[in-house]
Amino acid sequence: MKVAKFFELAKQHGLASCEVGISRSTSIDMNVYQSEVENYSVASSRVIYARGIFDGKMGFAMSEKDDAKTPEYLVKQIKISAGSSESDDIAIIFEGSEKYKKRNMFNAKLSAQSEEEKLQNLFLIEKKLKALDPRITDVESASYSESESQLELYNSFGLKLKEKDNHFYYYGSVVVKSGEEVKTGYKIFLDNNPEKFDIDAFVKAVAEDGLSKLGGKPCKSGKYPTLINPKVTASLLAAYLGSANAERVQKKSSLFIDKIGQKVASSKITVLDAPLSKNIFYSYFDGEGVAKFNKSVIEKGVLKTYFHNLSTAAKAGVEPTANGSNSGGKIGISISNIILKPGRKSVEDVMKDVELGFYLTEVQGLHSGLNPTSGDFSLQASGFMIRDGKFAEAVNLVTIAGNLQKLFLDVKAVANENELQLSSYTTSSILVKKLAVSGE
Amino acid sequence: MITKNVAIQVLNAALATGGDFAEIFLEETYSNNIEVDSGKTQPPSSSISYGAGIRILNKLQSVYGYTNDLSLKGLVKLATQLSASFSGEQTVFVEKIEKVKFKNKHKIKTALSSVDTKEKIALLKKGDATMREFDGRIVRTIAVLIMNNRHIEIFNSEGKHFQDAQERVRFVLQAIAMQPGAFETGFTGPGAHSGFDFVEGLDVEKEAREVADLAIRKLSAKDCPSGVMPVVIGNGFGGVIFHEACGHPLEASAVSKGLSPFAGKIGQKVAHESVTAIDDGTIPNAWGSNNIDDEGVATQRNVLIKDGILQNYLIDRFNGRRMKQESTGAGRRQSYKFETTSRMSNTYIAAGPHNPEDVIASVKLGLYAKKLGGGSVNPTTGDFNFAADEAYIIRDGKICELVKGATLIGNGADIITKIDMVANDLERAQGMCGAASGSIPVDVGQPTLRVSAITVGGQGGKLQ
């Protein structure tokens, strides 16, 4: 679509100002099963989304169809959208930030590697997994996925922004059996530099994830000092930080109402919003075109800021924090590239004084078993017991129950792993004083 | 969206290197959502999803790709790129294509597009206002209309052309109640493969009062106790237990690789004899129904388990190859961006002989999970979890105090052996199911039933 044509048509129809985003992506996916390529897919897609202000209200629409009628469809839908709106969001199309910290994170090495080489890696992963341990009875999947995406943002003030990135991941999953018992294990490796992929380390991690669960049983119900691994810490932290979403605060469905400057976590907890981190989640402008910047969100347990877009910031009378997200033209708030500041001690040191405790390595049902508004959770969980400061027997099919706020206030220590998770959070293990585990 | 002539050229390009089957799936979907949040209409959203997916099969291999470029050039380019995965000679040739006719079982009386936005908003506001006026402790209310109009076309190398239009609507109400120290929510979301007539048929005020009432009552509910106990699961959305714990492991994607606990067990007893379970994609105007699946196969009423004996699986074309079985019309996908796989449609446990009151009366001390919320399952191991949205303690056969924060956890293959009493009040409820081929509309359903023992998680200590 010709952006200029859209802006011209929008003006004719009385839209005061407007914005167009064009997102394009291509991807390749392949999956190997029993020494054969089971699935191979390629994709290219494009989506156009547009917003505009009509009669003082914001309206929006999106289309994957791009033909002569697209500008007309978008303008018409924007007018219907704005015309019906009674939203008290403040309608702003952004004129632009003074400075943008643009960095090229696109890695050309990725497309330089041949598809054949990637495929051979998958065959190798499957072969190595099968040979590793007789209890590995099947390799459910060895797959590779690669994508490249590009986003362009234009508005009627002349703002033009462009970002291009790429990444890949390998996914391996195994079925392990011991007698009648069946467990599964998996691992994902995500990056944009193919040279960082260590196939042997990956295979070992996939196998270990499955094998370590064998023999897992529910433990005795009780309240245990609990060490939470970096992956689960990231999930729980993401759910907790949802309360710092300014939209939720302003709509009064957050735990953090009136909590700026107050203690929301133990003094061991410092959390940074770091969108400019040099990892694959790097991004330099938000969904409304605001320049992103790094900042602390929780400092030694004290809440420093909410996450704002332009409208929530204007309502609260504060500077925007560049957390605006754009989903099909609809503006919301997104939180990514969060860093939980690591502690000094290793995991071994952190757990060495725990005589009897629980090591939480996996939770299920976060979308249903956690009430984001109250912070109460009750989740299916698995992990290991900790006995005399060391990891002991596997624990499976238990539930953990508690409250997010209480859990983060109860953190006794943060370990020093500093692992980047798939969710874009960089986290370490945390040790909490007590968590209710219900099993037998 | 494309002519037969274009389809023939694209299919032949796809088959040029020896593929034994090729298919083009085209989609143009118009979606509109309107949301009223605490009395205020939010800007309605509208979108067009538009594109084509091409699939080539060669024995047990499949390649798939999609694009928004529906020109002959764009589609041939994609077909050629995909066919490069194979290196043989063309063995299947497409010369002509004929349209396959079928009867439309899902009649639309009032098309969604024929109703003015103002009228839709008025209905949402009625629901929203009823919830807000119910009690001063209701602090936020949300009413949403989700509407879409999906046009699909399928051309395949068997020379067949299918075309269908699917209109769906869902009416969602949510209330959030608050008092110092407590937040609770109530929710309902009826939907259908239908036009606006479905929404007009709803008693919006009654639905709204029930949602608000539940949120308010939960404010003063105690924490659910934990432990292993008998649980009566309510009808309707309670069927999510079967959907998650047994429906997913009965899908060919898990069964064909022998990864499901139900693999190889046709004809064997896998559940208590009280259990008969059905997946029926043909129910007129039901949320999970379609005339044809996304591979062009007519949907079916598929009896999965009869009186505890495993009868059949949910099978799509590709996984059916590995199993040497025909498709059961279960090949579904969210959109052209997904390759089809075996999925559920409207899945439910059939009605039994008992009155629901008698099922509850049979429990001395246990839980009545009247409404379940969401859940998830590992299809290989069958381990599952569900949250109960509305649950009560049963004492001496009577429904007693409301409890909150209950989670049911267990294993699918195990739990269906413990469903030992089934009532006669079958109901279905609507949901969205997410899996490899995306998020699709499905009905879950069941009558009130008793599970003799299940692990309940909650913060309320031991049940006494």
Domain ranges of chain A: 3-211, 216-440
> B174: closest CA among B133, B138, B219?
B138
Q: Residue B377's pLDDT is what?
A: 79
Q: What is the pLDDT along chain B (464 residues), one digit of tens a residue?
A: 999 999 999 999 999 999 999 999 999 999 999 999 999 999 999 999 999 999 999 999 999 999 999 999 999 999 999 999 899 999 999 999 999 999 999 999 999 999 999 999 999 999 999 999 999 999 999 999 999 999 999 999 999 999 999 999 999 999 999 998 788 899 999 999 999 999 999 999 999 999 999 999 999 999 999 999 999 999 999 999 899 889 999 999 999 988 888 999 999 999 999 999 999 999 999 999 999 999 999 999 999 999 999 999 999 999 999 999 999 999 999 999 999 999 999 999 999 999 999 999 999 999 999 999 877 777 678 888 888 989 999 999 999 999 998 999 989 889 999 999 999 999 999 999 999 999 999 999 999 999 999 999 888 888 88
In angstroms, the separation between the Cα of residue A105 and the nearest Cα of chain B is 26
State whether B259 and A140 contact (CB < 8 Å).
Answer: yes
User: How does pLDDT run across B25-36, given as a tens digit for each residue?
Assistant: 999 999 999 999
Residues 280-319 of B with CB under 8 A from A: none
Query: Which position has the token pair 């009897």?
Result: A356
- Distance, first Cα to last Cα, chain B: 64
Q: HSE (CB half, 13 Å, CA atoms) of A289?
A: 23
Report the run of H or E that residue A185 belongs to, with start and end.
strand A181-191
CATH number of B112-149+165-221, picked from 3.30.420.10, 3.40.50.300, 3.30.2290.10, 3.30.365.10:
3.30.2290.10
Query: In the CATH scheme, what is the homologous superfamily, with its name and number, of domain A3-211?
Result: PmbA/TldD superfamily (3.30.2290.10)
What is the amino acid identity at position A434? K
What residues contact residue B463 under an 8 Å CB cut-off, 6+ apart? B225, B226, B227, B229, B365, B366, B367, B393, B456
State whether A367 and B374 contact (CB < 8 Å).
Answer: yes
State whether A81 and B44 contact (CB < 8 Å).
Answer: yes
The angle subtended at Cα B393 by Cα B391 and Cα B394, nearest 5°, is: 120
Strand partners, A169: A145, A190
Mean pLDDT taken over chain A: 94
Q: CA–CA distance from B87 to each of A182, B14, B84, B412 (Å)? A: 38, 12, 7, 43
Q: Which residues of B touch A36 (CB under 8 A)?
A: 60-61
Residues of chain A with pLDDT under 50: none
Q: How many CB pairs under 8 A join A and B?
A: 213
DSSP-assigned letter for residue B221: P
Report the run of H or E that residue A10 belongs to, with start and end.
helix A3-12
User: How does pLDDT run across B184-223, given as a tens digit for each residue?
Assistant: 899 999 999 999 999 999 999 999 999 999 999 999 999 9
- Note whether A85 contacts B: Cβ–Cβ < 8 A: yes
State whether A87 and B40 contact (CB < 8 Å).
Answer: yes
> Which pTM value belongs to this model?
0.87
Residues 312-351 of B with CB under 8 A from A: 337, 339
Report the run of H or E that residue A131 belongs to, with start and end.
helix A115-132
- The rounded distance, in Å, linking the Cα atoms of B273 and A338 is 52
State whether B66 and A252 contact (CB < 8 Å).
Answer: no
Q: Residue B379's pLDDT is what?
A: 67
Domain coordinates in residue numbering, chain B:
112-149+165-221, 227-457
Chain centre to alpha carbon of residue A127: 31
What is residue B450's three-state secondary structure?
strand
- The rounded distance, in Å, linking the Cα atoms of B198 and B374 is 24
DSSP-assigned letter for residue A426: E
State whether B383 and A380 contact (CB < 8 Å).
Answer: yes
Q: Give start and end residues of each alpha helix (H) in B107-185.
A: 117-134
User: How does pLDDT run across B90-148, given as a tens digit for each residue?
Assistant: 999 999 999 999 999 999 999 999 999 999 999 999 999 999 999 999 999 999 999 99
Helical pair B117-134 and A70-84, crossing angle rounded to 10 deg: 40
State whether B139 and A42 contact (CB < 8 Å).
Answer: no
